Amino acid sequence: MDGNGRWATQRGRPRLFGHHAGARRVREVVQTCPDIGVEYLTIFAFSTENWKRTQVEVAGLMSLFRRYITKEARTLHDFGARVRFIGDRVRLDKKLIDLMDELEVLTAKNTTVNLTIALNYGGRDEVARATKRLAQDVAEGRLDPANVDEETLPKYLDTYVLPDPDLVIRTSGEARISNFLLWQSAYAEYEFIDTLWPDFGREEFTALCANYGVRDRRFGGVKK
């Protein structure tokens, strides 16, 4: 969900104004999912690299996350969204972690759409944490190293209960993946679009998913 800061700057407003505008867009995109057949949606809210931003912006974002969860919890639940969070929670404050836990429990039985929020998430960090857990299981005899293959590591990732993404959309004109779902996106289709996230909505999301629907996905093979 990139481009919030630039969107605000273009309007002569502080960056946090753009983040608030971006947060309001999430509801529209989530509510579009069932209409176009999207069962799983993952949004990248805050990366492990975002701590490098100014203290004011980081503090503002953390406040926004707490406020968003508090404000949107009932709406998400009533809509039937099941919410999960991925990322390393250790660095987050306790109140935010408690709100995340409460929202996951509240929505645990919902089935309309699976919404995953990546918060303090980084692909490399996720793989490093997964590898540590895998290594610990090997060291303690719960896992035979001879049995470790490419199907093993995903069981230790934050996304172990989720399918790999089919389509990754990056807004704001940046043509890079920025440490997002590195392992899981090995065969995902990509869309890099110029639209800034606060301007991204139902119509463009629907069009991108429709375009994905006609792509020829061969996963390294050749169709006969």
Among 142, 140, 120, CA closest to 129? 120
Residue 210 tokens read as: 């429709």
Which residues are bridge partners to 42 per DSSP?
Answer: 116
Question: Would you give the DSSP letter of residue 143?
Answer: S
Instruction: Give the strand pairing for 189-192 and 167-170.
Output: parallel
Residue 172 tokens read as: 């704001």
State the number of CA atoms in the 13 A half-sphere of 67 facing the CB.
10
Residue 4 appears among annotated catalytic residues: no
Of 2, 114, 120, 158, catalytic: 2
Residue 50 appears among annotated catalytic residues: yes
Spatial separation of the C-alpha atoms in residues 47 and 69, rounded to whole Å: 18
Spatial separation of the C-alpha atoms in residues 115 and 20, rounded to whole Å: 19
Of 4, 50, 158, 199, catalytic: 50
Give alpha helix (H) positions in the chain: 4-10, 15-32, 55-79, 94-106, 123-139, 202-213
Q: If DSSP codes are grouped into helix, strand and coil, which group holds residue 44?
A: strand
Enumerate the active-site residues.
2, 50
